Amino acid sequence: MKEETAVANAGAGSGGSARDDAPRRVRRRLAGGWAAVWLAAAALVTVPTVSGAAPQQASTAGARPAAPAGAPDQAPLQPPSAEGDCDTRVSPDPESGSQNGAAVKRIKERGELIAGVAQNSKLWSHRNAKGDLEGFDIDLVKQLADALLGDSEAVEFRTVPIDRRQQALEHGEVDVLVQAMPITCRSLEGTPEEPAVDFSSPYFETGQRVLVPQNSDISGFNRTLKGKTVCTAYGSTGYELLSGDGQEKYGAWMRARPGALDCLMLLQLSRVDAVLTDSGLAAGLADQEDGTRLAGPQIGKDSYGVAVKHGTDDLLRVVNATLEKAGKSAWQKSYDRWLKDRLGPADPPAPQYG
């Protein structure tokens, strides 16, 4: 198993000068558990870049006008609205065709699976004390490598920032993305900036959760957010929820950053009041810092899927067959190890094929 490389620099330190004007009490906390957060973020910008692309910056095209003087730097947030009306259950049945087409043959000829992952997502894909990647997503990648190559260690991990995920697949920089990535109409259909991708059957069911400091008066995604600043990741489901119509309903403000860890750092520095992200990722953030809590119930329902380049159905069939084979035993073992303590008991999602 190769040491992972970075598809593009992730801009993890995008909080800018926030640290300089942070309250003194917050700076002291960095000497403890929060130092690990900053070190994890720093690791993103020190690993080598393999794509040759310049670091990607999230686009601000079409952004709403700047907030009034003294207000946060993004638009008021919106109530949830439908992300799209496409059918997300379009993944091929493992038995519906070949499992040894061009995409699978390339992987076998290469002798290793190139997997796009995160390296700082606690419980899902993060470095342990030895510097090795581990977590729920990493367990799944190893199952895929075993199914494709007969060797769970035949993997090259490449870290991929959230705003480069679909491009990385389109350009062949990775074979699969296993990065707690929600199956959305936007990703399936693509946009002028983001190529369409295909997804496996769901391997995890989730929704959106609000993460706040322990002493916050925010009780969830509701009117207690009025006048508050909420951070979410560019291009995420949370971003979709926070940037639609009806912006007067809750009266909060949105601040968008490249990823959930960036939002976590801003929360720690008292630059935002809350973070909105997938419940699975929120559980990892809460596990990373005991000064935070999850506020309110889960919002809506999302599913995580393994993403592949659009049109590589042979690879998708192998992925779906692996998920079926993992079934209750391997999935449950991994879930119980990484997620059960934070999210409670759960079962693997039922297969969904188009």
pLDDT score, position 316: 97
d(CA 1, CA 153): 5
pLDDT by residue, tens only, the chain of 354 residues: 765 566 654 333 333 333 333 332 222 333 334 444 433 443 333 332 334 333 333 333 333 333 333 334 455 554 444 445 678 878 999 999 999 999 999 999 999 999 999 988 899 999 999 999 999 999 999 999 999 999 999 999 999 987 889 999 999 999 999 999 989 888 999 988 899 999 999 999 999 999 999 999 999 988 898 889 999 887 777 887 777 532 457 887 899 998 888 999 999 999 999 999 999 899 999 988 889 999 999 888 889 999 999 999 999 999 999 999 987 799 999 999 999 998 889 999 999 898
Q: Is 138 helix (H, G, I), strand (E, B) or coil?
A: helix
* pTM of full prediction above 0.85: no
Q: Which helix (H) or strand (E) holds 318?
A: helix 313-338
Residue with structure tokens 């000829």?
A: 109
Phi-psi region of 20 (alpha: psi -120 to 50; beta: other; left: phi over 0): alpha
Q: For residue 233, with 0-12 CB atoms within 10 Å meaning exposed, 13-18 middle and 19 or more buried, which class applies?
A: buried
As a whole number of Å, the end-to-end CA separation of the chain is 34
C-alpha distances (whole Å) from 183 to each of 48, 139, 203 are 29, 20, 10
Question: In the prediction, which pLDDT does 76 show?
Answer: 53
Q: In the chain, where do the E strands start and end?
A: 2-6, 113-117, 120-121, 125-127, 133-134, 155-159, 176-177, 197-199, 204-213, 229-233, 253-257, 274-278, 292-304, 307-309
The backbone torsions φ and ψ at residue 55, rounded to the nearest 5 degrees and listed phi first, read -55, 135
Question: What domains lie within the chain, and their CATH numbers?
Answer: 102-204+303-343 (3.40.190.10)
Return the pLDDT at 261. 86
DSSP state of 227: T
- Tokens 């998708």 label which residue? 316
CB atoms within 10 A of CB 335: 18
